[in-house]
Amino acid sequence: MRMLLTSEGVRNDVIRQTMVELLGKPIDEATIVAVIDAILPFPGDNTKTLADLQSVSALGWKQYDLLSLFAGPAALVESRLRSADVIFCYGGSNHWLAHAWTSTGLDAVLAELLDEKVYLGWSAGSMIFSRLQAESVEAFYDQDEVAMFELNAVAPAVPLFDWFVICHRGAAWQPQVTDEVIAGCAARLGGPVYFLDDQSALLVRDPASAPEVVSTGQWRLFDGSGQLVEQSAS
């Protein structure tokens, strides 16, 4: 398994080098498919979305495909997923993204491809593999989002981890999401929570083992009681 779960993409040389190591070849020799379903249900201006997707394209891929899981017959979507070296899931709603995988039946394909491909997550794209997905709705106050999308059930796209990840620590656009808030959420969740800033990512090679933090920034790990148990060195 080669998973790189980022807060906001490949933002620094450390994360980029990790991506190259996972690929086993230069980026310009690799192909990527960007799954954008997590952002599609949200109305309004998408200027930032376009800029974010361009920042990933600017890494210099041999081919950069853009895909919705609902874009056509499942067999056609599956073929595009299988043809890429990297499956990249962009941000937005982690609950909707997980629903997109499971409701299309492509979750089984994703589970298989996680053993074959490199997986790159961006925010919500990094948040769809926790066995605590259903519990996270209450823990992180996501009830309104789930209701807006009319989701009768919440589940991970593929259940792999017994921990959860929250992104964008210290981001100017969400100053209310502090370490204290996330510590409280972790206590309600009853499981470990990694809180990553936009210069940080988690490297997963074995879902049964703790992930490796890849970072030039600031991150925190809270346990299921809300206690801080690990953090960035500076």
Looking at residue 197, what is its pLDDT? Answer: 98
**How many domains does the chain contain in total?**
1
Whether the pLDDT of residue 234 is over 80: the answer is no
- Contact between residue 61 and residue 32 where contact means Cβ atoms under 8 Å apart: yes
Q: Which domain holds residue 74?
A: 2-231
Q: Residue 169 has what pLDDT?
A: 98
Q: Are 156 and 128 in contact (CB under 8 A)?
A: yes
Q: Report the pLDDT averaged over residues 38-43.
A: 96
pLDDT, residue 153, reads 94
Tell me which residue has tokens 């009681």.
225
3-state SS, residue 35 = strand
Output DSSP code: residue 234. -
Question: What is the C-alpha separation between 191 and 27, in angstroms, rounded?
Answer: 35
Q: Is the C-alpha dihedral spanning 190, 192, 197, 201 positive or negative? A: negative
**CATH code where residue 185 lies:** 3.40.50.880
User: Between β-strands 63-67 and 86-89, what pairing exists: parallel, antiparallel or unpaired?
Assistant: unpaired
Render pLDDT for 113-128 as a digit per residue (tens, 0 to 9): 999 999 999 999 999 9
DSSP, res 30: -
How would residue 101 be classed by pLDDT, with cut points 50, 70 and 90?
very high
Question: Look-up: residue for tokens 């192909």?
Answer: 31
User: Does pLDDT of 157 surpass 90?
Assistant: yes
What is this structure's pTM?
Answer: 0.97
If DSSP codes are grouped into helix, strand and coil, which group holds residue 97? helix
Q: Strand 63-67 and strand 31-35: pairing?
A: parallel
Q: Which is nearest to 52 in space by CA: 27, 71, 26, 34?
A: 34
pLDDT tens digits, residue range 175-213?
999 999 999 999 999 999 999 999 999 999 999 999 999
Question: What's the mean pLDDT in 44-67?
Answer: 97
pLDDT at residue 7 greater than cutoff 90: yes
- d(CA 107, CA 101) in angstroms, rounded, equals 5
